[in-house]
């Protein structure tokens, strides 16, 4: 669903129309009496030029500045494009397979964030930066709730990712291991956030969006930021050594830059 929300955010910012199509399940479950090629015969080429390596249900086709995106979820398809000719070609090709056209799209299920714990209302900051193609920078905010589970005393990882003013990814999940300090819980949350950023930057590249690097990562924990920024290894962080090196490598590569924000903001 993150891919879906990201594509919808881009479509909304660029004013691209949306079309939904539904494949008839009878075709998928029926008996075929025709000869079906499982692999393309010699001399034929696949219809779509590129399948995303970051989401195998995402297909894109580019012709110069024109682009059409097709998202597949089981038997439902979403078509987005900035060129009416490419969109109509895609719809015509898909209609060659028996399907039911549902027309325009107004709302998608599981696209709301108002039910997640602690991260449904991320703060706005004045230093959100414009990136290429009139989109905003990927803006992230991570947080954790230390030892919030009364039964296991495990902490909760929470983060949000925004593309401009659109919330495209979020998480509120209990951590797998117990954190012995709030700094450790915050750092585990930061590591999960960096992993999501790494994946999202690749996905946005497949969608034709150039992200301004480095991505701004906001955290309320000075200790977690200090651990991430200090290359000197400390024995008190040896139990989260992999997370430490992972986040530090991404900071060193220039992908992210952490910033402190007080809890009051």
- Say how many C-beta atoms besides its own lie within 10 A of residue 191's C-beta: 22
CA-angle at 166, arms to 243 and 171, nearest 5°: 35
- Global pTM value: 0.75
Q: Which residue has the higher pLDDT, 64 or 201?
A: 201
pLDDT in tens, 221-259: 888 888 888 777 665 666 677 888 899 999 999 999 998
pLDDT band at 196 (very low <50, low <70, confident <90, very high): very high
In percent, the amount of the chain with pLDDT more than 70 equals 75
Percent of the chain predicted with pLDDT > 90:
13
Please name which of 190, 179, 194 lies closest in space to residue 236, comparing C-alpha atoms: 179
pLDDT in tens, 77-107: 899 998 888 888 888 877 766 555 555 554 4
Domain boundaries, the chain: 2-103, 130-260
- Does the domain at 130-260 match CATH 3.30.420.10? Answer given as yes
**Pairwise CA distance, residues 137 & 169, whole Å:** 14
HEC states along the chain? CHHHHHHHHHHHHHCCCEEEEEECHHHHHCCCCCCCCCCCCCCCCCCCCEECCCCCCEEEEEECCEEEEEEEECCEEEEEECCHHHHHHHHHHHHCCCEEEEECCCCCCCCCCCCCCCCCCCCCCCCCCEEHHHEECEEEEEEEECCCCCCCCCCEEEEEEEECCEEEEEEEEECCCCCCCHHHHHHHHHHHHHHHHHHHHHHHHHCCCCCCCCEEEEECCHHHHHHHHCCCCCHHHHHHHHHHHHHHHHHHHCCEEEEECCCCC
Per-residue pLDDT tens digits for 149-173: 778 888 888 888 888 888 899 888 8
Q: What values do phi and psi take at 190, rounded to 5?
A: -65, -40
Of residues 59, 58, 194, the one with CA closest to residue 138: 194
| Whether 71 contacts 4, CB under 8 Å | yes
Q: Are 200 and 6 in contact (CB under 8 A)?
A: yes
Q: In terms of Cα–Cα distance, which of 19, 22, 28, 20 is closest to 100?
A: 22
């Amino acid at each position: 669903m993150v891919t879906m929300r990201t594509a919808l955010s881009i479509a909304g910012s660029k004013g691209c129309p949306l079309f939904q199509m539904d494949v008839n399940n009878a075709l998928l479950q029926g008996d075929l009496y025709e000869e079906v090629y499982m692999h393309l015969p010699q001399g034929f080429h696949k219809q779509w030029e590129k399948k995303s390596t970051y989401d195998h249900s995402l297909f894109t086709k580019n012709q110069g500045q024109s682009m059409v995106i097709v998202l597949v979820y089981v038997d439902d398809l979403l078509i987005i494009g900035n060129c009416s000719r490419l969109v109509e070609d895609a719809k015509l090709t898909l209609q060659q397979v028996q399907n039911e056209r549902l027309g325009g799209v107004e709302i998608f299920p599981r696209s709301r964030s108002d039910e997640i714990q602690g991260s449904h209302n991320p703060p706005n900051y004045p230093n959100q930066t414009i990136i290429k193609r009139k989109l905003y920078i990927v803006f992230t905010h991570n947080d954790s709730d230390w030892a919030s589970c009364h039964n296991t005393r495990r902490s909760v990882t929470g983060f949000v990712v925004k593309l401009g003013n659109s919330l495209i990814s979020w998480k509120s999940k209990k951590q797998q291991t117990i954190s012995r300090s709030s700094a450790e819980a915050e750092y585990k949350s930061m590591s999960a956030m960096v992993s999501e950023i790494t994946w999202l930057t690749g996905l946005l590249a497949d969608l034709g969006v150039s992200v301004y690097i480095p991505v701004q990562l906001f955290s309320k924990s000075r200790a977690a930021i200090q651990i991430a920024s200090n290359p000197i290894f400390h024995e008190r962080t040896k139990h989260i050594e992999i997370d430490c090196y992972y986040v530090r490598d991404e900071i060193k590569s220039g992908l992210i830059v952490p910033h402190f924000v007080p809890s009051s903001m």
